């Protein structure tokens, strides 16, 4: 069972890939360019965890989304850095 945030991420990637691919070509045409079967493209666009991460990345490269993905990764890293330095709010218990 995948962690919910990973499932969500894969679904977001799949949706992005599907919307960009659909503007240009069929799943079969894209599968040929990607070097995979049409069923793999379908699984990829549905956010399947059974598809290798490398296939997701290759699909983004083929579609010209590598820059967008790099920007996204950079933003994720910045968000993680900010979260590491946040101090939890300490709540005082007034139950004496």
* pTM (2 d.p.): 0.69
What is the Cα–Cα distance from 84 to 79, expressed in whole angstroms?
Answer: 9
What is the Cα–Cα distance from 61 to 59, expressed in whole angstroms?
Answer: 5
Task: Provide the residue-wise pLDDT of the chain in tens; the chain has 96 residues.
Answer: 557 888 888 998 899 999 999 999 999 999 999 999 999 999 999 999 999 999 999 999 999 887 766 676 677 777 777 766 655 556 666 665
How is the chain split into domains, by residue range? 4-84
What is the Cα–Cα distance from 20 to 45, expressed in whole angstroms?
Answer: 10
Residue 3: the pLDDT is 74
Residue 71: the pLDDT is 74
Alpha-carbon distances, residue 45 vs 61, 62, 65, 70, 96 (angstroms) = 15, 14, 14, 19, 56
Domain spanning 4-84: CATH superfamily: lambda repressor-like DNA-binding domains (1.10.260.40)
Residue 90 neighbours by CB distance under 10 Å: 5
Residue 6: the pLDDT is 87
């Amino acid at each position: 069972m995948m962690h919910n945030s990973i499932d969500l991420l894969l679904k977001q990637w799949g949706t992005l890939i599907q919307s960009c691919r659909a503007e240009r070509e069929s799943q079969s045409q894209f599968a040929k360019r990607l070097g995979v079967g049409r069923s793999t493209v379908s699984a990829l666009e549905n956010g399947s965890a059974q598809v290798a991460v490398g296939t997701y990345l290759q699909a983004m490269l083929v579609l010209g989304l590598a820059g967008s993905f790099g920007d996204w990764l950079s933003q994720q890293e910045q968000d993680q850095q900010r979260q590491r330095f946040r101090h939890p709010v300490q709540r005082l218990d007034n139950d004496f």
